[in-house]
Chain A
């Protein structure tokens, strides 16, 4: 039972390069989220989706784009990476949204931008 799978787990980019992080969940969840986690700070929401074909901005969306073409996949893109985007990125999914359902997290993708 895979749950939430993120790829890649590690990546090093140079400033200005682009990349895509892939999140896949096998629990048939409607809600999917991308968070970033930085030392000393709580998880912060970048973008989220409440269903296939939908996306919305979270707390810190600048510099990121997302797509949810299939229900099980949620992609996070960085068009022109900046050192400030060095972070650990977590994808999460939920079947009932934030008020009644807990989040299921992937194991994270550690991104370093030089």
Chain B
């Protein structure tokens, strides 16, 4: 069964304290891995797509990396405005229209 897990469930950082979020997946024949940011009371907003192991994407203080089993979202010197829930998702293996979403990591960056 296709599955996506994320850890930790919640993370509190001090401003400037770098860390990483993990997304692990068990989908055969990966067709891409997507990262989204979701602010409270809002819909998810697209951040990155990664397609192959070894690929990296960067956007401001965020860098996403991908291996054959997992993806990391590295946050360098975070600011309070980076506080949000970060979701990862993969297209389901059987080629349908569905994404399998992880439950998310809730990040809080304290000033």
Contacts and interface: CB of A to CB of B under 8 A. Distances in A.
B99 A45 contact: yes
B99 A102 contact: no
Given A102-B46, A106-B43, A108-B41, A48 B97 contact: yes
A100 B34 CA distance: 10
Nearest to A41: B103
B42 interface: yes
Interface string B84-95: 000101010000
Contacts of B91: 98-99
Interface in A41-67: 41-45, 48, 50, 56, 58-59
Contact of A42 (B4, B43, B49, B97): B4
A31 interface: yes
Chain A, interface residues (CB within 8 Å), range: 20 to 34
B72 interface: no
Contacts of A92: 43
B46 A42 contact: no
A105 B47 CA distance: 13
A81 to B, nearest CB: 22
B109 interface: no
Interface of B: 4, 31-32, 34, 36, 41-46, 49, 87, 89, 91, 97-104
Given A4-B43, A44-B101, 16 more contacts: A42-B87, A42-B101, A43-B99, A43-B101, A45-B98, A58-B97, A59-B98, A90-B43, A97-B97, A98-B31, A102-B49, A103-B36, A104-B46, A105-B43, A105-B44, A108-B41
- In the A-B complex, the 10 residue pairs with the closest CB atoms: A105-B43, A42-B101, A102-B46, A43-B101, A98-B91, A99-B31, A45-B98, A48-B97, A105-B44, A42-B103
